[in-house]
Structure 1
Amino acid sequence: MPHPKNAALLAAAATGDAGAVRVALAAGAGTGTRDEHHRTPLLLAALGDHVPAARELLAAGADPNARDERADTPWLVTGVTGSVAMMRALLPAHPDLKVTNRFGGISLIPACERGHVDYVRALLRETDIDVDHVNRLGWTALLEAVILGDGGRAHQEIVELLITAGATPDLPDGDGVTALAHAERRGFMEIAGLLRAVR
């Protein structure tokens, strides 16, 4: 069990109470304290998209790269939540853009899978993240958007954004299947058209 002041910081971060975060920090709570799942206060704030609480923690030196038991970090989970505000709050703390989750993916990949258009757009514009990073499944962000996406407008926009950002359209998955072939198999004609246009 963490010390009461550290427990108070964890609770405040999880609920997004920036004032209580400030009080706990002033009382000597540590930004590196962990809960039962090895999550730091900053990771809890990022998971809940509590940007003001996260800013308090970052100002106190919280680490955007601290991993929990699932290998998640505050930076990585922004790709899951799709929070542009949290992404921008974390950037000045120099998060590791190459850090990978338990699937070997960087933050861009789950964002593309989940259809977080605004996040993907901001990430591609404001960082030099690797658009062709390949995860342990053999998938790039482009492949993930097609294989796990629904083919709708959000995933169409994401495919456009990735292509514009220089993603390699014919980079195949581990089985040698390209994003275009996956799009055609799934009946995603709009996405297939976008991919054919850049061949």
Structure 2
Amino acid sequence: MSDVVLPCRDEALALPGLLTRMPPGYRPIVVDNGSTDGSADVARAFGAQVIEVAEPGYGAAVHAGVLASDPDDGVVCVMDADGSFDPAQLPRVADPVRRGDAHLVTGRRRPVTSGAWPLHARLANAALAARLRRRAGLPVHDLGPMRAARRADLLALGLRDRRFGYPLELLITASRAGWRVLEVDVDYHPRAAGTHSKVTGTLRGTARAVRDMSAVLAR
């Protein structure tokens, strides 16, 4: 059994389809980060464990979800809750960690349609990933909103960023710790109808993410 942390803010429309497709052996933890659309109630109705986190920010939600995961299960996954990823592909990121082939596995997004990943978001991601490859020497091309690692290892890294810089801080800190990092391809779908990305769905959101991540690189 692996816990799947799903950071969530106003994803009530996406959650039913996402939670009903969760594969056997994967237990969803929906981390509600200030939703106003009843996301928490929807998640509970579909059998998910729900954690409510008042502190705003992607990193705050992920960290709370990791803390809430079962320490006896070992491997914990993280995946966006907007319907853009297929839960059936969770074993792609979890199995190499479970086998001991990698400490951290990240999903490299492969859009299934031309409109799944806005150009401005794709360019920003590519630029940050290129800087990361130069600075940390990691063979990654995506900042990995779908990923897996062992719970104890994640907590031992002592990550501090509670906003959008969290994924980048994770990769940099993992590199410094000597982790084996593996990147695998995962399908990237258009978000569920009626939802939008809180990070890269708009130019403003992308600019905010780049700002937070650039602050991590500056440290």
Q: TM-score range by the shorter chain?
A: under 0.3
Larger RCO (alpha carbons 8 Å, 6+ apart): 2
Larger Rg: 1
**TM-score, normalisation: structure 1:** 0.27
Q: Which has the higher strand share?
A: 2
**TM-score, normalisation: structure 2:** 0.25
